[in-house]
Structure 1
Amino acid sequence: MKKLTGNRQRLHPADVQWRDTDLALLQELIAAEASLPSDAPRALLSVRLSTLTVETTSPVRQELDLRRLARERGYRVVGVARDLNVSATRVPPWRRRELGHWLNDRVPEFDVLLFWKLDRLVRRLTDLSTMIEWCLAHGKNLISNHDTVDLTSPTGKVMAEIIGGIAEIEASAISTRVTSLWDYTRTQSDWLVGKPPYGYTIDDRGRLVIDPQEQRVLRWCLGAALRGVSARRMTTVLIRARVPTGGGGQWSAGTLLRRLRNPALMGFRVSESKDGGARRSVTVLGADGNPIRVGDPIVTEAEWLSLQAVLDERSKSQPVRRKGGATQFLGVLVCADCGTHMTAHRSRGKVRTYEYLRCRRCPSGGLGAPDPQSVYSRLAGEVMSVLGAEPVRVREYAPGADGRDRRRTVENTIADYMTGLEPGGWYSRTPFTRRRAEQSLERLITELQGLDPDTAQDRWLQTSSGGTFRERWEQADGETMAGDLRRAGITCSVSRHRLPGVRAPEVGLKLIIPADARERLVIKRDAFSD
């Protein structure tokens, strides 16, 4: 078994195993494309799998079957969009990592989208309808290897919608079964399915038991919290001690607080609640109105209540986050010293609430930057003066079908006239018909010479909206400017310098504009936004 490598056959980060026989067939299919004409239709292959395991061969089988289909139909394969571990129910085609990149940014590079089965592409009828509309608007075709789907015929369109409806019904049935299973397990004292909460593991008999190492971590955090140690300080200690998080990644204060606030520490079954936008675990009650116990407790109920009181007391210093987000120009403002993003923070004193910008790595936030609103205003003013006069340009997709059809028509007509003007031809019978045919032929040759070769190619065009970015930013909110700056890769370096006898530091701003910023400012409309 081998892993397929190379730029031409780039893999999804998940490992996919290829056997030697599969690799030989792959090379044979790729070599067969050399005999195709230069104007052969270009095919993009879509390979998708909801759950990837070490044993699965589905991605390999899908790709080889689609390459065989492309060879049978005379298509040249220009790319493979591999989206593995991706649910078609949750993620539509235009939002997937690889296929979405092709559909949004590489449209001119392919003519037809090949997929193994319709449920490999979509599992919602609305998503299928959107894809059909998009293909018709952009001159593309959808072809399935196992279903009668081909948008070049009315029957193929109808069959696509029928099969898509069946796929949606199947996905709905699966969702209902999964939901029913979870509803049932929440009422049971045994641990049947799902990942155990931090501090617990599953033994050989499928029972929920305490994990000794994770129990020690939680007990240490309990004691530290009761002594007044902050969650951020505990997180730093855990990271330095290289304590595993139990789920991959690195410890964070938010992750630690969620685990310390989880009633599962008392051995109770819990479910996730997102009331108010905050993720919290709440206790599941049984039919008798009491919490359902699924394991031995790591902390007693009295300890858990004391812990919550301490955490609540510390959390009172942080005001409620603003509805629109605490930080404007997030991703644009960066620290001049450590290079991390500047974020807005608020702390409540005895008299007033203080707002300031701080970075992540500098000690104490790099002195902070007081009065974030003044920083935002200065940044907006500098951006307006430098880029406000730039015209707003929009990227539009221009299919080359019309140009190709016109060129083909002119070339065929010229060939007919040249045949008719040969000795014995239709136009050579009388001087009048010869003269008129030669005049028409001359006009057609002139038209053919004047046809722009680019109009026969699918391409992106940049059109002006008639306004400037100053007008665009003045008519919209600050997030519109921030989004444009992030798209163009424009950042603003924030420096802070302490002045003698002045408590607040002096804040300096330096706008950093990449050389290709004006090209990246071009607005790319989302064809799937509706």
Structure 2
Amino acid sequence: MTTATVSREHPWTEGELAELAHLKSLNEQLPEDSPRALLSVRLSILTDDTTSPVRQELDLWRKANDDRVRVVGVARDLNVSATKVPPWKRRELGKWLNDRSPEFDVLMFWKLDRFVRRILDLQVIINWCQEYGKNLKSLHDPIDLSSTIGKTIVSLIAGMAEIEAANTGIRVASVWQHAKTQETWIIGRPPYGYATEKDKGEKVRLVIAPVGHRVLRWAYRAAMRGVSASKMAKILNRAGIPGSNGGKWTSTTLLLQLRNPAIKGLRVEVAGRSGRKRSQEVLDAKGNPIQVADPILTREEFDELQDALDRASRTNETPWTAGATKFLGVIVCRNCKTNYTVRTSTSRGVRYKYLRCRVCGGKGADPQGLYAALVDAVLEELGDHAIEYREYARGAEMRDQLRQLEASIKYYMEGLAPGGRFDRGEFVKETAEETLQSLLKQMDDIDPESAKDRWVLVHGGRTYRQQWEAGGMEGMSHDLIRAGIKFEVGYNESNELEADLLIPEDVRERLVIRADAFKTGF
């Protein structure tokens, strides 16, 4: 049984923990064959005391005891939007739904809008419950999937919740639209090189962050001297200066900051997810840029920087070709564990491709040669393993058979007792004893596990070598990524290319093919 943990964001009081312990003690006294319940607790913002996760959980424990169901676990997903994240993709509830579904019979939640807010998500869950023999219970909604009217009520309530969520989305979008036109900083994460602080009038404004300012000014001067972004990233990493996202610098993350008009102190918005210039200036009603902070680079310096960056990239206009790298996420650098990616360059009018670490650099490797070495190594280690599929086996039919056998055994044992219905003559008694022995043997022959809902592994009838030969490198790459297999590449003292295939100990379990039970079809 899952024990309660104290959330750092929303702590339990001593009184609440004492009540939880009491409710758990009562729950543990329920019969072992009682229905098993999973409690789902969700909250998008940890500020609403009326639906706090602590209150939700305590209320659900009380409901479980009232309904005489044994609690086998609590899935706590806090700061999670039900509109954006469906139940099967949440960190804790998703693990239960995808991998631990044999362990519970009913999914309980505080209120439907605490569980889902989209009709399509609810329909997927209802279909899943019917296929896997589960039920849904809500503390504050009349939900019962065993009846048609119960399903109808669920859909109606979800429809109202979706309308409410849509209205909330409109309000949030309106706030963002308003914020973009203001000189003060109302909402959002400050761009790199800036921080927020309140002025004398308690208004939040952007101010220059010292470290970010020094980094961007240094990078500007380095770019004007012709230093490449990859070399600048190496220098920053060696100096121990955190990247814009808190991790290591790469040429890509550095260029995103140097290309961002926000370093002129202007309001910007994201114009796309790819390309060199993802951010663009926001203009006011008169078509002028909105100044929200002191500039790190003046307009003239920013334009000079863009020209320098453009000149540096002209001989290699598409250095990181999207989708060109095969086994992306598998082939990594031995030193920094960063992905090896394909780079396309031009030398004396000849274009060629090579694989190289984006952080450590070094000489490039021939893509086809490295791919071939990886394929050969993987086939040697795993090619002859049989493909296995995970299937959900329900034990309801076997449980019914066991109950029937137990009732029959009890009937004959009582009948064979002194004075019982079979204690009348040798022939009747012997016949009853033979029948009883046959029933007992049938009981012994039944595997107890077959009476439980469980996952079973089924062989697919072919090996991974056969599957990969049919699916090509793309299919193999997908399997290697989900299995956690890495091909670490590096260079020895003689500057010769070396590679090691790293395979997790539980690779067979990771390679098991699991059907997606939550495909929406939309």
Query: Which of 508, 523, 526 does residue 513 from structure 2 map onto?
Result: 523
Query: Which of 226, 229, 232 does residue 227 from structure 2 map onto?
Result: 229
Q: Show CA shifts across 1:73-116 (max 9, x none).
A: 22222222121221111111111111111111112222221111
Q: Distance in 2 between matches of 1:241 and 1:67?
A: 53
What corresponds to 1:52 in structure 2? Answer: 46
What corresponds to 1:461 in structure 2? Answer: 456
2:208 is aligned with 1:211: yes
Contact 2:251 2:358 (C-alpha < 8 Å) held by counterparts: no
The structure-2 alpha-carbon separation of the partners of 1:242 and 1:11, relative to structure 1 and needing over 3 Å to count, comes to farther
Query: What is the identity, as a one-letter code, of the residue corresponding to 2:97?
Result: L
Query: What is the identity, as a one-letter code, of the residue corresponding to 2:150?
Result: G
2:120 is aligned with 1:126: yes
TM-score by length of 2: 0.86
Contact 1:396 1:461 (C-alpha < 8 Å) held by counterparts: yes
Contact 1:89 1:124 (C-alpha < 8 Å) held by counterparts: yes
| Alignment root-mean-square deviation, CA | 3.4
SS at structure 1 position matched to 2:345: strand
What corresponds to 2:136 in structure 1? Answer: 142
2:137 is aligned with 1:151: no
What corresponds to 2:169 in structure 1? Answer: 175
Contact 1:139 1:401 (C-alpha < 8 Å) held by counterparts: no
Query: What is the identity, as a one-letter code, of the residue corresponding to 1:345?
Result: R
Structure 1 residues 48-57 or 516-525, which shifts more?
Answer: 48-57
Contact 2:263 2:296 (C-alpha < 8 Å) held by counterparts: yes
Alignment size in residue pairs: 516
SS at structure 2 position matched to 1:384: helix
The 5-angstrom pairing of residues 475-490 of structure 1 reads 475-490=470-485
What corresponds to 1:316 in structure 2? Answer: 314
The structure-2 alpha-carbon separation of the partners of 1:8 and 1:361, relative to structure 1 and needing over 3 Å to count, comes to farther
Query: Which of 9, 12, 16 does residue 10 from structure 2 map onto?
Result: 16
Query: Which of 143, 154, 157 does residue 160 from structure 1 map onto?
Result: 154
Q: Show CA shifts across 1:385-429 (max 9, x none).
A: 443222211011112222112211232344345556778877889
Q: Show CA shifts across 1:180-206 (max 9, x none).
A: 232233344554433343344343332
Return the offset for 1:436.
Answer: 7.9
The structure-2 alpha-carbon separation of the partners of 1:482 and 1:125, relative to structure 1 and needing over 3 Å to count, comes to same
2:297 is aligned with 1:303: no
Percent of pairs with identical residues: 49
Contact 2:487 2:502 (C-alpha < 8 Å) held by counterparts: yes
Q: Distance in 2 between matches of 1:444 and 1:278?
A: 75
What corresponds to 1:3 in structure 2? Answer: none
Contact 1:395 1:522 (C-alpha < 8 Å) held by counterparts: yes
Query: What is the identity, as a one-letter code, of the residue corresponding to 1:450?
Result: D
Q: Distance in 2 between matches of 1:429 and 1:88?
A: 68
Structure 1 residues 439-448 or 121-130, which shifts more?
Answer: 439-448
SS at structure 2 position matched to 1:528: coil
The structure-2 alpha-carbon separation of the partners of 1:250 and 1:494, relative to structure 1 and needing over 3 Å to count, comes to closer
Q: Show CA shifts across 1:243-275 (max 9, x none).
A: 576764454443332222222333432211116
The structure-2 alpha-carbon separation of the partners of 1:349 and 1:490, relative to structure 1 and needing over 3 Å to count, comes to same
Query: Which of 167, 188, 191 does residue 194 from structure 1 map onto?
Result: 188
Return the offset for 1:241.
Answer: 5.7
Structure 1 residues 212-221 or 239-248, which shifts more?
Answer: 239-248
What corresponds to 1:384 in structure 2? Answer: 379
The 5-angstrom pairing of residues 363-512 of structure 1 reads 364-365=361-362, 367-368=363-364, 370-416=365-411, 443-497=438-492, 506-512=496-502
Contact 1:268 1:292 (C-alpha < 8 Å) held by counterparts: yes
What corresponds to 1:89 in structure 2? Answer: 83
Return the offset for 1:461.
Answer: 0.7
The structure-2 alpha-carbon separation of the partners of 1:110 and 1:481, relative to structure 1 and needing over 3 Å to count, comes to same
Return the offset for 1:24.
Answer: 0.9
Q: Which runs of 5+ in 1 are unaligned?
A: 1-5, 500-504
Query: What is the identity, as a one-letter code, of the residue corresponding to 1:305?
Result: D
Query: Which of 104, 115, 123 does residue 110 from structure 1 map onto?
Result: 104
Contact 1:391 1:464 (C-alpha < 8 Å) held by counterparts: yes
Q: Show CA shifts across 1:114-150 (max 9, x none).
A: 1111112111111111111111111112111222223
Q: Show CA shifts across 1:47-93 (max 9, x none).
A: 21212369998122222121222222222222221212211111111
Return the offset for 1:432.
Answer: 10
The structure-2 alpha-carbon separation of the partners of 1:381 and 1:404, relative to structure 1 and needing over 3 Å to count, comes to same
What corresponds to 1:99 in structure 2? Answer: 93
What corresponds to 1:273 in structure 2? Answer: 271
The structure-2 alpha-carbon separation of the partners of 1:245 and 1:351, relative to structure 1 and needing over 3 Å to count, comes to closer
Return the offset for 1:242.
Answer: 5.8
2:330 is aligned with 1:332: yes
Structure 1 residues 153-162 or 215-224, which shifts more?
Answer: 215-224
Q: Distance in 1 between matches of 2:233 and 2:105?
A: 52
Contact 2:395 2:452 (C-alpha < 8 Å) held by counterparts: yes
Q: Distance in 1 between matches of 2:502 and 2:324?
A: 23
